[in-house]
Amino acid sequence: MPIRTTGKGWVLETETMGYALGLNESGLLVHCYWGLRLPRVEDYPAAPEPEAWASFNSPSHLTPEEYPAYADMKFIDPCLKASFGDGTRDTVLRFVRAEITQGDAPELVLHLRDATFPLSLALHYRVHNDYDLVERFVTLTNEGAGHIMIERVWSAQWHLPRGEGYRLTHMAGRWFDEMNICRETLQPGIKTLESRRLTTSHHHNPSFAVDRGDAGEDVGDVWFGALAWSGNWKLSAEVTHFASTRVSIGLNDWDFAWRLEGGETFTTPSSFGGYTARGFGDMSRRLHDFIRDTVLPHGHLPHKVLYNSWEATKFDVDETSQARLAELAAGMGVELFVMDDGWFHGRKTDDAGLGDWWPDRTKFPNGLNPLIERVNALGLDFGLWVEPEMVNPDSDLYRATRTG
C-alpha cells in the first residue's frame, strides 16, 4: 500500500521513494525520513525526540517539526503565522486525528488544532506513485465565530537528512534571459527566493533541487520540489547551526493577509516533492511526465512550427500585411501563424490599448475573421497574442474602472 501506519507514524511510498513522519513522545508531529524507499516499513526511523540543547537555543533547532507554526521559542522560519482576536500571535498546534484513503488516489490527511483558539489545520499528503512524487497542501478552518487574521500559510516544509554541505539548485533570470541554472552551497542562515510581482515571474522559479554537491545528470541523490501556483510565492531554504536543512515553500507573505471569518476555510496551493538517486536528469523527467500527463490539457500533442509576426511588423499590423506574412510563412513549412501585438483597439504604441481586447476598427474594419480564413486557407492554424494580466492607463478599460 502507498500509505502505511507504523504505531504513531505514517509512511508514504512510491515506486522508489519513501517519506515518513510521526508523533514523538512530546506529541509533536515531526519529520522522520525522506529518501530511497526502504525494504520494510520497520526500517524507517522512529519519530525523533528533542535532544539536549543550550539554554539560549530552543528544541525547534533540533526537532524537525513537520509543519511548524509561529509560537514559543521557535526561532526557525515558521510555515504558519496567525493573529487571534485578543492579539495573541502564537499558534500551538496539537495533533487530533489521521485519515487515510487508499485506492487510485492515495491520501493521508493529518488534522491538528490550536490548543486554545478555534483554528484547525489539515495537512494533506497525496501519493503519485507513477511519478515518484508526493503532493502536499494545507487547509485552514476557523471553527469559531470571530475572525482570525492569517499572516502566513505555506504549503509545505521539506526536511533534508541531517548533514552539511548541501547544494541548492534554482532558476533565475530576467526578460529575454530566463531560466538560468544557479547553484550554491547552503550555509547556516536562510536563503530566500520569491516573486512579489503578482505572477510566478521570470526572475525566479518556484522550484528547488538540493543535492550533496556531487550529483550529475545521471547519478547522485537529489531532493526536489515545486509549487503549483502562478501568483506571488516564497521559498525559504534554512540551515541551522546544528546541520538541519529544510526548504519551505508557499504563498508569499509579503503584502499578504487573509481574514478568515468564522466557519470559513482557506486552502493553499499544492507543493510537489520527490527524491531520486539518479541525478538531475531523472528529476526533470519525472516532473515533465507529471506535467504532461496530469496538468497540461494537451500535454502530448507535438508542438507545431510557429511563425510570429512581431519582428516583421511590430505594431504596424493590418489584414493585408498579415496575410502576406502568412503566405511567406506557409512557403517555409510553418504550421501555426501567430499575429502578435498591435491588433487590438487603440494599440499604436506600447503605452496604450492594453485591456481593450477587441479588433482595432481602423486596422481591421471587418474584424479578424477574414484574416483568419485567409490563414486557414493556406493550411495554417491561426493564433493571437494577448497579455490579459496587463492594462494601460490609456485604455477604455482603465478609464471606465479606475477609482482614483
Residue 300 within a domain: no
Taking alpha carbons only, the member of 152, 177, 182, 185 closest to residue 69 is 152
Query: How far is the C-alpha of 276 from the C-alpha of 40, rounded, in Å?
Result: 19
Does 286 share its domain with 257? yes
Final residue of a domain: which of 273, 295, 317? 295
Residue 301 within a domain: no
Stretch 370-395: mean pLDDT, rounded? Answer: 96
Check whether 11 has a pLDDT greater than 80.
yes
pLDDT at residue number 184: 98
Residue 61 within a domain: yes
pTM metric for this prediction: 0.91
Residue 368 within a domain: yes
Does 353 share its domain with 263? no
Does 232 share its domain with 155? yes
Does 283 share its domain with 166? yes
Residue 34 within a domain: yes
Q: Are strands 265-267 and 133-142 parallel, antiparallel or unpaired?
A: antiparallel
Does 204 share its domain with 230? yes
C-alpha cell at 9: 507514524
What are 300-357's pLDDT values in tens digits? 999 999 999 999 999 999 999 999 999 999 999 999 999 999 999 999 999 999 999 9
Does 392 share its domain with 365? yes
Stretch 27-42: mean pLDDT, rounded? Answer: 96
Stretch 37-60: mean pLDDT, rounded? Answer: 83
What are 198-209's pLDDT values in tens digits? 889 889 999 999
What are 62-100's pLDDT values in tens digits? 789 999 999 988 888 999 999 999 999 999 999 999 999
50 — pLDDT class (breaks 50, 70, 90): confident
- Tell me the residue range of the domain where 331 lies: 306-401
Burial of 165 (0-12, 13-18, 19+ CB in 10 A): middle
149, 260 in Cβ contact below 8 A? yes
Q: Which residues contact 322 (CB under 8 A, 6 or more apart)?
A: 309, 313, 339, 371, 375
Pick left, alpha or beta for residue 61 (phi over 0 → left; psi -120 to 50 → alpha; otherwise beta): alpha
Does 204 share its domain with 336? no
What are 134-175's pLDDT values in tens digits? 999 999 999 999 999 999 999 999 999 999 999 999 999 998
| Count of the separate structural domains present in the chain | 2
Q: Are strands 189-195 and 119-128 parallel, antiparallel or unpaired?
A: unpaired
61 — pLDDT class (breaks 50, 70, 90): low
Does 33 share its domain with 155? yes
Strand order in the sheet with 306-308: 306-308, 336-339, 381-384
pLDDT at residue number 205: 94
pLDDT at residue number 250: 98
Check whether 25 has a pLDDT greater than 70.
yes
Q: Which residues contact 61 (CB under 8 A, 6 or more apart)?
A: 53, 75, 76, 240, 241, 242, 244
- In the block, which residue shows the cell 516564497? 234
Residue 352 within a domain: yes
Final residue of a domain: which of 260, 295, 330? 295
pLDDT at residue number 49: 86
Residue 394 within a domain: yes
52 — pLDDT class (breaks 50, 70, 90): low
C-alpha cell at 16: 522508489
Does 210 share its domain with 353? no
> Of the ranges 44-58, 100-114, 143-157, which one carries the lowest mean pLDDT score?
44-58
Does 327 share its domain with 237? no
pLDDT at residue number 201: 85
**Encoded amino acid at 61, one letter:** H
CATH of the domain at 243: 2.70.98.60
What are 229-281's pLDDT values in tens digits? 999 999 999 998 888 999 999 999 999 999 999 999 999 999 999 999 999 99
Does 319 share its domain with 209? no
Final residue of a domain: which of 295, 315, 339? 295
Check whether 51 has a pLDDT greater than 90.
no
Stretch 290-309: mean pLDDT, rounded? Answer: 95
Does 346 share its domain with 326? yes
Stretch 362-387: mean pLDDT, rounded? Answer: 97
Residue 121 within a domain: yes
282 — pLDDT class (breaks 50, 70, 90): very high
C-alpha cell at 237: 531554504
For the residues of 212-249, what is the DSSP string, one character each? SS---SSSB-EEEEEE--SS-EEEEEEE-TTS-EEEEE
